[in-house]
Amino acid sequence: MSRIEMAAACSEVLRVNRDLLDSQFDGYKLSLDPLPIYSISVKSGVDEVKLRNEEYTLQHMQAFGLTNYLSGDLWNPNCVYFIDSDWRLMQHRIVLESQPSEPVAVFTIPEGATRRAASRHSVSLGFPSSDLCVLSDGVGHLYILETGCRDQFEPSQWKVIFKREVCNGAPAILQDSMCRVKESEIQVDCVLLHVEKTAPVQENGDTHTAKSDYETYLEWITLKKTTDQSQFEVENSRQLKGKTAPVYCGLEEGAGGLFLASETDFTIISDSLHPVKEEVNDEIEKEEEETPLPQFTWTQTGEDITLTFIVPETVSKPDIHMVMEADRIDISIKNGKELLSGALYRLIDISCCTWTLDKRKLEVMLSKEDEGFMWTEVVVGDTRGEYVVDPDQAREIHERLAHLTSDAMGPDPSGNIGGKPGISPQDLEECDMNVENEVCIYRIDGKKHTISHKVCISSHQRLFQARLQSNHPPCICLRHDVDGIVWQPRPVTAESPSPWHHESTFNALGYVQASKRNCKFASCAPDMSYCVLCDCSKHAYIYRQPADIPSPLRNRKSGRVVGQIAKQQVVSLDASDDILGLQATNERLFILTSKKLYVIRVKVE
């Protein structure tokens, strides 16, 4: 993907639907209404997998550090699943809550007794259709299971209709799966994640490894069978590589693309159907020549914006024309060019804004009126500046700008400015190179192998992800100001050119979750009627959407009539065992510990 195309793809922003925001929300009211709750003993235990000593790396912690051992089924909301200590897939189905039933084994993973001592990760599964299950055993095998009807009184044993070693036999976990039916053909797409040690690199006769000892890989496999066939066959296999594990992964509806969120971009390195094109160095150099240099650079924190301009040597402070207003800025040089002018992206606090001129470097500090809100641009519509987070990148840009604005014949060929020795790459330490990476959410096209849409979400804390519909990728909930905004990725159409759709809002959820220091799991109901935060043990907190009340109330201080109340409810478990899994449905909340499975009736008429 060319840099010009990448810039176009990265120009998107998450557009919030103002109609789904509540500026009058005044908090959650603690409700003491009891919720029906009962527990079922997990006699055979839960197959809990711990990281080995050599796996305490950044990639392993991101990918496998927090595992939800309880799986839900949108096709049958009455069922939840977990793997017991004997490597059996256990199904718990709600029949009559007045007579709780025990979990039933529907499938036993083959070779469990002989392979469980080897290097492995937890078993992961998904339900792409009403009669299929995709299962990764955590030791490098992928299964497609025929389940039949899963919501029946006496569940039948599931049958293996496909088994294959994947990821070169490396321990892998399932990220997402999806089923498509085309006339007489059935296709199943699944994405698996595994982490591998970086291969040694030969350079100048010496063998060494990269800065990071591990790399993250995604295997995107497409399986196909016709109605006349009993077995699936591999139609296509793609492999993606990245430096860090993704914080979000979901297959696009129709499996035409893959949605990812990560600190560094994943790239497709192999495709069994469509050859992967490699960029030619000459084309890259040509693109660099065609890409215009930025006129300035800017960085930001939660409190301020810093703009940096390189001006000619003859410019002094009296030559700088600076006009600042709360919503506008004008910067220019006397008898010279305009540096920046226009309406600001957000309001600023003029009383706290400053600017300095040190030799040729003009720095302008803008104080944000809304602290904590991250800007996507400085002046609306002005693309001449470049946002940087790497000081080395900023220094390189400033040196190139200094060359273009210099009054001298040319800079020192050695790269030194003003005759002073510069900083060579050998003088930099690793801490100088490792600046906090930006997290972006983007879509990778499955055929073109390029990033078609991309937006930075570094300023929006990730709260949770959950699947709302069986044929859609999981939604992702991000913090915007104090609220939690639920984004549902969807296919791009002419009417909707952006794949990021604001689906719902959980008022003040970002503020609430920040106060839960022991929060381990978070999720929401598919109909988004409530969200839940779950501690490491003992407690779960339910936050419901505002609901009408029979008799409106009047706020004594403001005089405002309150016709809706958002309730908060606290669930206390009867044991202090570690919570291993959480699943939320429209009617019930399921919580799994090593000894019990708790069922909480959330929807009470």
Helix, strand, or coil (residue 319) = helix
Burial (CB count <10 Å: 0-12, 13-18, 19+), residue 420: exposed
Judged against a pLDDT cut of 50, whether residue 415 lies above it is answered with no
Higher pLDDT, 138 or 277: 138
Q: Is the pLDDT of residue 339 over 80?
A: yes
Residue 53's pLDDT band (cuts 50, 70, 90):
confident
Q: In whole angstroms, give the CA distance from residue 445 to residue 449.
A: 5
Rounded CA-CA distance 42/45 in Å is 6
CA distance 152 to 106: 12
The pair of structure tokens assigned to 115 is 């392979």
- The model's pTM is 0.74
Those residues whose C-beta lies under 8 Å from the C-beta of residue 490, and which sit 6 or more positions away, are 253, 472, 496, 499, 501
Say what the pLDDT of residue 106 is. 95
Q: How many CB atoms lie within 10 A of CB 490?
A: 17
The pLDDT score that the predictor gives to residue 495 is 82
Amino acid at the residue 240: L
- Answer with the residue of higher pLDDT: 404 or 414: 404
pLDDT for 411 equals 41
Query: pLDDT above 90 covers what percent of the chain?
Result: 52
The radius of gyration computed from the CA coordinates of the chain, to the nearest angstrom, equals: 28
Determine the pLDDT at residue 385.
Answer: 87
Q: Please give the mean pLDDT across all residues of the chain.
A: 84
pLDDT tens digits, 286-330: 544 455 667 889 888 888 899 999 888 888 888 898 999 999 999
Measured at the CA of 245, the angle between CA 239 and CA 248, to 5 degrees, comes to 90
- Encode pLDDT of 542-578 as tens digits: 999 999 887 777 777 777 777 788 999 999 999 889 9
Beta-carbon contacts of 393 under 8 Å, excluding residues fewer than 6 positions away, are none
Task: Tell which phi-psi region holds residue 576, choosing left (phi > 0), alpha (psi between -120 and 50) or beta.
Answer: alpha
Average pLDDT over residues 237-262: 94
Domain boundaries of the chain, sorted by first residue: 295-412
The full DSSP string for 7-73 is HHHTT------GGG--TT---EEE------EEEEE-TT-----PPPGGG-SHHHHHHHSS----EE-
**CB-based contacts of 245: which residues, under 8 Å, 6+ apart?**
59, 62, 63, 193, 195, 216, 262
Q: How confident is the model at residue 220 (pLDDT cuts 50, 70, 90)?
A: very high
- What's the rounded mean pLDDT across residues 134-160? 90
CATH topology of domain 295-412: Immunoglobulin-like (2.60.40)
Beta bridge partners of 203: 206
DSSP tag of 400 = H
One-letter amino acid identity for 339?
A: L
For residues 179 and 3, the model is more confident at: 179
Q: What is the mean predicted confidence (pLDDT) over 232-258?
A: 94
pLDDT at 407: 46
Burial class (CB in 10 A: 0-12, 13-18, 19+), 366: buried
Read off the pLDDT of each residue in 260-277 and give the average, rounded to a whole number: 92
Model confidence band, residue 164 (pLDDT cutoffs 50, 70, 90): very high
Residue 199, sorted as left (phi over 0), alpha (psi -120 to 50) or beta, turns out to be: beta
Name which of 541, 549, 529, 587 is nearest 568 in CA terms. 541
Using alpha carbons, select from 20, 17, 18 the residue that is nearest to residue 546. 20
> What local confidence, expressed as pLDDT, does residue 394 receive?
56
- Kindly report, residue by residue over 347-394, the tens digit of the pLDDT: 999 999 999 998 889 999 999 988 777 888 899 888 888 888 655 555
Q: Where are the beta strands (DSSP E) in 170-302?
A: 173-182, 185-197, 201-203, 206-208, 214-226, 233-242, 248-251, 257-262, 267-271, 296-300
Structure token pair of residue 80: 């939840």
C-alpha 299 chain-centroid distance: 23
Q: Determine the pLDDT at residue 10.
A: 47
Q: Please state, as a whole number, how many other Cβ atoms lie within 10 Å of the Cβ of residue 58.
A: 17
pLDDT above 80: residue 513: yes
Q: What is residue 392's predicted lDDT score, i.e. its pLDDT?
A: 53
The SS3 of residue 506 is: strand
Q: 14-23, 69-78, 142-151, 387-396: which range is least confident on average? A: 387-396
pLDDT score at 432: 40
The one-character DSSP state at 395 is: H
Over residues 327-344, the mean pLDDT reads 88
Two structure tokens written together for 234:
């591999």
DSSP summary character for residue 505:
E
